[in-house]
Amino acid sequence: MTRKIEQVRRAKRQLDGVLLFDKPLELSSNTAMQKVRWLFRAEKAGHTGTLDPLATGLLPICFGEATKFTHALLDADKRYRATIRLGQRTTTGDAEGEIIEERPVTADEAQIRQVLLRFTGEISQLPPMHSALKHQGKPLYEYIRKGEVIERETRQVFIRELNLERFSATGPDIDVLCSKGTYIRTLGEDIGEALGCGGHLIALRRTGIGDFDLHAAHTLPELEGLDEAARDSLLLPVDSLIQNFPAMTLDAVQAARLAQGQRFGLRDGYPDGKRRLYAEGSFIGLGELVAGRLSPNRLLSGIARMAAVPKSA
């Protein structure tokens, strides 16, 4: 009987929304997401922007319909707090790897600040072999585990802000606001090389993604200490993922036409692009406005009922 009660209590449910989660050390992003999904009993869940097991911090977890809009955060700028250990290079560029070179550290705080200026703006990075970047369908880290090194091309990324937060004899703490695709591990290594002593990351914490901030995130112990109603109250609405797009309100007939896959003429005074769409006071999905014509982009499943409106309406 106890087992049956537990099975009913843990039965999965349809749940829509976004949780700002503070990922702990040594959990992969997927493992962290699965633990949170189990707590919420969510049928469907996904996360936005993978963090390495040795990285901590902001990991938005999307439930249900919110998983349709995770791409918005994948493309967003991200902010990190990183600690660089100067004077040592490792095989992985972080504390997981073996030390392969040691050099004396002579840089002072003023020299570090000067070097950081050189890495602000558009820079070139060579993706590390210890990364999830794909080559012929497999992540690079699978090749390096077998001792294979794949030739990679440099990529352009943009460092919007790069500030020295703390300076010590072993290395600096830096605050980084960067574009998608930036490897903070590589940045740490490159800063070490520019200082003439080498370096590797010993700590990394993501503090922001787009408009989301770590201060609003929730830890695993916090979530485990709440009942289900209290946990549910922490969820942000689905459209919180796409607040950077202009909003557009449709009437019932227009919403029904979109649900049927139709395009129709509409203008709102903004440049062409994606629109957050609302009807009957509720968010219904994303549309695309091009040359005065609106078409569906990604719509919530719930508006399928609107498709029952005749096409001639």
Catalytic positions, please? 52
Task: Measure Cα distances from 52 to 58, 139, 312 in Å.
Answer: 12, 14, 52
Nearest Cα residue to 237 out of 15, 78, 49, 73: 15
DSSP state of 65: G
Provide the β-strand partners of residue 162: 176
Tell me the one-letter amino acid at 128: P
- Both tokens assigned to 160: 């919007």
Report how far residue 39's alpha carbon sits from residue 33's, in angstroms, rounded to the nearest whole number: 10
Report how far residue 156's alpha carbon sits from residue 154's, in angstroms, rounded to the nearest whole number: 7
Answer whether 191's CB lies under 8 Å from 119's CB: yes
Residues 6+ apart with CB under 8 A from 224: 39
- Both tokens assigned to 273: 């692009």
Q: Per 3-state DSSP, what percentage of the chain is helix, strand, and coil (rounded to 5)? A: 30, 35, 35
Quote the Cα angle for 225-226-231, to 5°. 135
Answer whether 107's CB lies under 8 Å from 195's CB: yes
The CB-based long-range contact list for 153-158 (8 Å cut-off, 24+ gap) reads 154/124, 154/125, 154/126, 155/124, 155/125, 155/127, 155/181, 156/122, 156/123, 156/124, 157/122, 157/123, 157/125, 157/181, 157/182, 158/121, 158/122, 158/123, 158/182
